[in-house]
Structure 1
């Protein structure tokens, strides 16, 4: 009798202990989180064929984050927009060089920097407990500002004002 009571209470205790356990809350890689801004570059005279800028460096204004050509896809680049503000600014430097790489005899101007400021409206979307929230961006707008060395970005076209996925380009830049 005592053995049955101990067995019963032991099973009851294990049932109570394991009833509070839940499966691991892991966000699957297949879940789309906050999308990056997709940019494509074209020659200003050939607005159909993609053309990657030479030695492009992109630096977030007010941040130390730097993106260079070797991080880009062959036909586009993806950069993040701020999730805590309605404006993000980047310095786009064409033909970037520093130190011993600077060639004073180069036929192409080096370190030509234009600043692009992206403005948008942020909309939080709850995904689930594991993945939390993602930010969707709408009403994307861009302003370009040439540096002291003149503009290397000649024109731009906003392809999609909504930044909700990474399947198509959001912005085309012509230089």
Structure 2
């Protein structure tokens, strides 16, 4: 009988210790804002007020085979910036096609290589979420590639990338 009560007390203590080891602040809430993405909006060069997505856009990391977006026609995109360097390079391909169509009325696979420059600042959030990175001094350089530039102009709307609420850069094509 004595061992029965001893076992119950041991199980109760073990359960209490097990559940007290994980605290509520060990889980990063989904509502916590972590490192923000760079928000880019596209506009027709002739109508600089109305957003217009480029035809069949592909966005790919230049130093990698990782494709972020492919054959999309949206007006606004959010892409990550590197947290370990002060530069991120992407290839933006207008009218992307795996196999070019010689009968297409629009030039296919026109790629501009875009460098995004910035300074990084790590900000400690809390024990569960750790750090996030804020970017400041955003600037860009567009290399038109072999086929000539399809992105003709840009405007830095916000030099600070600290949230995803507004456009950081506008491209005009």
- State TM-score, norm by structure 2: 0.87
Report deviation, 1:131.
0.6
Deviates more, 1:38-47 or 1:22-31: 22-31
Deviates more, 1:16-25 or 1:161-170: 16-25
Aligned to 1:38: 39
In the aligned structure 2, how far is the partner of 1:122 from the partner of 1:139?
A: 9
Partner-residue secondary structure (3-state), 2:136: strand
Aligned to 2:66: 65
**8 Å contact kept, 2:70–2:96:** no
1:124-163 equivalences under 5 Å are: 124-163=122-161
Unaligned runs of 5+ residues in structure 2 are: none
1:1-175 equivalences under 5 Å are: 17=17, 21-24=21-24, 25-68=26-69, 74-99=74-99, 102-175=100-173
Cα deviation digits, residues 27-63 of structure 1 (max 9, x gap): 1110000000000000001000010000000110111
Cα deviation digits, residues 133-154 of structure 1 (max 9, x gap): 0000000010001011000000
**8 Å contact kept, 1:55–1:68:** no
Report deviation, 1:105.
1.7
| Aligned residue pair count | 168
**8 Å contact kept, 2:71–2:95:** no
Report deviation, 1:22.
3.7
Q: Structure 1 runs of 4+ off > 4 angstroms?
A: 13-20, 69-72
CA RMSD of aligned residues (A): 2.5
In the aligned structure 1, how far is the partner of 2:19 from the partner of 2:144?
A: 63
In the aligned structure 2, how far is the partner of 1:64 from the partner of 1:55?
A: 18
Report deviation, 1:123.
0.2
Partner-residue secondary structure (3-state), 2:34: coil
Partner-residue secondary structure (3-state), 1:122: strand
**CA 1:143–1:16 in structure 2 vs 1: closer, same or farther (change >3 Å)?**
same
